[in-house]
Amino acid sequence: MEKEVAVLYKWASVLALITIFYNIAEGGVSVGFGLGDETVSLFGFGLDSFVEVISGVGIWHMVRRQRKNPAAVPDIFERQALRITGFAFYLLTFGLAGTAIVNIFTHHHPETTFWGIIIAAVSIVTMWILIHYKVKIGKALRSPAILADANCTKTCVYLSFALLFASIGYELTGIGWFDSIGAVVIAGFSWKEGRESFLKAKGIGCKCQTNCP
């Protein structure tokens, strides 16, 4: 039984690492194409992915801690990672919202949002796969924290759908505010994620979680 539990925690750690490295790759590609094509929604999506890396490191550390002692409370490293994540999300919120508003009034048009469609589609598939296996392992380990992480990963899916909608909308119509509205929606999710990060750092239950560790 202990061997089975050890294997499950090993896979939980692998999933956390996959999430981290995927977000690094996704962030780099999104920021690169976002800058090149002057697509604020894709650029913001990429920055959000980079912030998720900080959160992912905290989750990976949490899994390692729980492997040794499932009943242990979050340590200083995890709480600090959550605070940094929350602050970064708040900065991203104001930056994206401000840029989007300026773009709306200046009638800015991105060169193309094709890559936003591709990246969003890949992200949706990848995140749903990660959610599936995180839930499976979380249930097997009876770990509310891992299940909560899986549930919170759904926010990444919502962000991807927002990017997909904005990107398709612009490609079909050529109306520039589709890109800006997509950025505003992403900013809204970033604010929500920032708030929940600070709540988790304080040990307060979050909307995306059934039971914060």
Task: Give the count of alpha carbons within 13 A of 85, CB side only.
Answer: 29
Closest by CA position to 163, among listed 114, 126, 93, 94: 114
Residue 21 in this model has a pLDDT that exceeds 70: yes
Q: Could you give the percent of the chain with pLDDT greater than 90?
A: 54
Give me the chain's average pLDDT, please.
87
Write phi, then psi, for 112 (nearest 5 degrees).
-160, 155
pLDDT score at 1: 61
pLDDT score at 44: 94
Burial 48-76 (b: 16+ CB within 10 A, else e): bbbbbbbbbbbbbbbbebbbeeeeeebee
Contacts of 99 (CB under 8 A, 6+ apart): 40, 44, 183
Interval 184-195 mean pLDDT: 91
Q: What is the DSSP letter of 80?
A: H
Least confident residue range of 40-44, 60-64, 73-77, 140-144? 73-77
Total residues found in the chain within this entry: 213
Locate 77 and state its tokens: 């490293």
For the stretch 131-184, pLDDT in tens is 999 999 989 988 777 887 787 788 889 999 999 999 999 999 999 899 999 999
Q: Are 31 and 37 in contact (CB under 8 A)?
A: no
- In order of start, what are the domains of the chain with their CATH numbers? 2-201 (1.20.1510)
For the stretch 199-212, pLDDT in tens is 877 775 444 544 44
Residue 101 in this model has a pLDDT that exceeds 80: yes
Residue 82 in this model has a pLDDT that exceeds 50: yes
Q: What is the pTM of this model?
A: 0.85
